[in-house]
């Protein structure tokens, strides 16, 4: 089978984080500091990724600013000619660190936000972070760096959507990703607290359209669909092992950030294997390439080349079988897992959420 080359690397430098968001996409079993790759190991990962064809790297976590060697790692990535993006909560982004990152050649910083009002944002993050984020946004802008922002949307903050967009515009963001929660890891654990009602989602979509008309000229808005409310799944990651790869804090190489949750697969580690071998030849990366692995209804479905049967992680987490069709699909025999969940949310009383905050 012809294997394409990856263009993007997600480098999870650490799982440690001061925030405790209940929708965190990190796995529920977080890696400890003592298991993290060393500076030299990360530099080797970058060199190997570059040789493999990667052209952009996203440094993320947890909170990557907790690594004191971040600037050194960023500098090496830039020296290798990679486009470098940092995904951060903004906590710890002092003036000195912004200057060092800028000196190291960073191309873009993506700052997360939890809500428009400080009170709500801090209660979602489980940490008083909102004011620190406002300061971080100002420092990024004053350093002349591109400010991108992202907000995970859910039942607890969708009502603030227009205010969120207005706030990000006022902080000087150029691009804002409005990501309706995807239910893996901590988010799946909190799904009953996070999943919005269809009525609320309809209202939010109308708010989004109105805000796009007001702010669309100055702020690029990206709306990531709430897939539980779709009829067909997304082509997750643009296909398994097709466009990108993730290196976890402990060196395991994953087709996507969530895939360590697929217990039926085991993943190779850069401490033992070359990245190129892992990409081209490892059983985990080859597990869901092409179409031969598919079961019905995907195997004979005319949409299989558009969505690749949806998300493998979601299939595993909701059905226990990573080869199954993504249950978001209305043709899936497991679609009831989704519809029952939506029905129970619709039938439930409105109440204050009782989040299981992420640990670590
Ligand atoms: Fe996609 Fe499979 Fe559903 Fe067809 S049956 S739309 S390939 S998930
Ligand atoms: Fe892993 Fe979709 S999140 S394949």
Regarding the beta carbon of 227 and ligand 1, being less than 6 Å apart is answered: no
Q: Report the number of distinct structural domains present in the chain.
A: 1
The annotation status of 329 as a binding-site residue, yes or no, is no
Regarding the beta carbon of 258 and ligand 2, being less than 6 Å apart is answered: yes
* Helix, strand counts (H, E) of the chain: 14, 9
Q: Which pLDDT band, with edges at 50, 70 and 90, does 360 fall under?
A: low
Q: How far is the CA of 100 from the centre of ligand 2 (A)?
A: 34
SS3 sequence, 83-144?
A: EEEEEECCCCCCHHHHHHHHHCCCCEEEEEECCCCHHHHHHHHCCCCHHHHHHHHHHHHHCC
Q: What is the average pLDDT across 20-33?
A: 92
Regarding the beta carbon of 91 and ligand 2, being less than 6 Å apart is answered: no
Q: How far is the CA of 255 from the centre of ligand 2 (A)?
A: 8
The whole-angstrom separation of Cα 274 and Cα 122 is 42
The annotation status of 298 as a binding-site residue, yes or no, is no
Looking at the CA of 258, name the nearest ligand.
2
Torsion sign (Cα): 339, 150, 60, 18 = negative
Regarding the beta carbon of 311 and ligand 2, being less than 6 Å apart is answered: yes
Taking the CA of residue 328 as reference, the ligand 1 atom at the shortest distance is 8
Instruction: Provide the mean pLDDT of the chain.
Output: 96
Regarding the beta carbon of 313 and ligand 2, being less than 6 Å apart is answered: yes
pLDDT in tens, 187-242: 999 999 999 999 999 999 999 999 999 998 899 999 998 999 999 999 999 999 99
CA–chain centroid gap for 224, Å, is 11
Report if pTM > 0.90: yes
Confirm whether 209 is domain-assigned: yes
Q: What is the domain extent for residue 67? A: 8-229
Task: Please give the torsion angle defined by the CA atoms of residues 9, 19, 185 and 50, in that order, rounded to the nearest 10 degrees.
Answer: 10
pLDDT at 115: 98
pLDDT in tens, 9-24: 999 999 999 999 999 9
Q: How far is the CA of 253 from the centre of ligand 1 (A)?
A: 27
Confirm whether 61 is domain-assigned: yes
CATH at 112 = 3.20.20.70
The whole-angstrom separation of Cα 209 and Cα 253 is 39
Regarding the beta carbon of 297 and ligand 1, being less than 6 Å apart is answered: yes
Taking the CA of residue 326 as reference, the ligand 1 atom at the shortest distance is 8
The number of residues in the chain equals 360
Confirm whether 29 is domain-assigned: yes
Residue to substitute in 325, 328, 337 for testing ligand 1 pocket (most ligand atoms within 8 angstroms of CB): 325
Here the ipTM equals: 0.90
Question: Ligand 2, atom 2: nearest CA belongs to which residue?
Answer: 311
Confirm whether 74 is domain-assigned: yes
pLDDT at 358: 92
pLDDT in tens, 68-119: 999 999 999 999 999 999 999 999 999 999 999 999 999 999 999 999 999 9
CA–chain centroid gap for 103, Å, is 27
**The pair of three-digit structure tokens given for residue 83, joined into one six-digit string:** 């486009």
Q: How far is the CA of 239 from the centre of ligand 1 (A)?
A: 13
Q: What are phi and psi of 201, to 5 degrees?
A: -65, -40
Residue to substitute in 314, 316, 326, 328 for testing ligand 2 pocket (most ligand atoms within 8 angstroms of CB): 314
Residue 351 pLDDT greater than 90, yes or no: no
Looking at the CA of 311, name the nearest ligand.
2
Residue % of the chain over a pLDDT of 90: 94
Confirm whether 254 is domain-assigned: no
pLDDT at 2: 82
Confirm whether 73 is domain-assigned: yes
Residue to substitute in 227, 230, 231, 233 for testing ligand 1 pocket (most ligand atoms within 8 angstroms of CB): 233
The whole-angstrom separation of Cα 159 and Cα 207 is 9
Looking at the CA of 265, name the nearest ligand.
2
Confirm whether 94 is domain-assigned: yes
Taking the CA of residue 329 as reference, the ligand 1 atom at the shortest distance is 3
pLDDT in tens, 134-187: 999 999 999 999 999 999 999 999 999 999 999 999 999 999 999 999 999 999
The annotation status of 50 as a binding-site residue, yes or no, is no
Confirm whether 291 is domain-assigned: no
pLDDT at 1: 76
Question: Ligand 1, atom 2: nearest CA belongs to which residue?
Answer: 298
């Amino acid at each position: 089978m012809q294997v394409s080359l990856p263009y993007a690397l997600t480098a999870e430098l650490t799982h440690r984080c001061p925030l405790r968001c209940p929708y965190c996409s990190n796995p529920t079993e977080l890696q400890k500091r003592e298991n993290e790759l060393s500076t030299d190991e990360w530099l080797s990962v970058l060199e190997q990724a570059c040789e493999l064809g990667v052209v952009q790297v996203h440094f993320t976590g947890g909170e990557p600013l907790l690594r004191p060697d971040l600037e050194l790692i960023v500098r090496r990535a830039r020296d290798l000619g990679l486009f470098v993006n940092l995904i951060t909560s903004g906590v710890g982004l002092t003036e000195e660190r912004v200057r060092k990152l800028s000196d190291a050649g960073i191309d873009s910083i993506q700052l997360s936000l939890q809500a428009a009002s400080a009170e709500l944002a801090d209660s979602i993050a489980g940490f008083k972070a909102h004011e620190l984020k406002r300061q971080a946004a100002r420092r990024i802008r004053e350093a002349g760096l591109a400010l991108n922002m992202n907000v995970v949307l859910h039942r607890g903050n969708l009502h603030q959507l227009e205010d969120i967009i207005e706030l990000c515009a006022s902080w000087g963001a150029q691009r804002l990703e409005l990501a309706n929660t995807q239910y893996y890891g901590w988010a799946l654990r909190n799904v009953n607290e996070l999943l919005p009602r269809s009525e609320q989602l309809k209202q939010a979509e109308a708010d989004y359209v109105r805000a796009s008309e007001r702010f669309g000229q100055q702020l690029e808005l990206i709306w990531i669909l709430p897939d539980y409310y779709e009829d067909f799944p997304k082509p997750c990651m643009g296909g398994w092992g097709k466009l990108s790869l993730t290196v976890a804090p402990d060196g395991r190489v994953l087709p996507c950030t969530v895939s360590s949750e697929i217990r039926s697969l085991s993943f190779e580690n850069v401490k033992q294997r070359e990245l190129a071998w892992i990409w081209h030849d490892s059983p985990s990366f080859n597990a869901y390439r092409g179409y031969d692995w598919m079961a019905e209804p995907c195997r004979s479905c005319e949409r299989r080349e558009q969505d690749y049967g949806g998300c493998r992680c979601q299939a595993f987490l909701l059905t226990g079988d990573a080869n199954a069709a993504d249950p978001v699909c209305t043709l899936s025999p497991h679609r009831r897992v989704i519809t029952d969940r939506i029905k129970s949310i619709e039938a439930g009383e409105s109440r204050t959420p009782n989040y299981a905050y992420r640990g670590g």
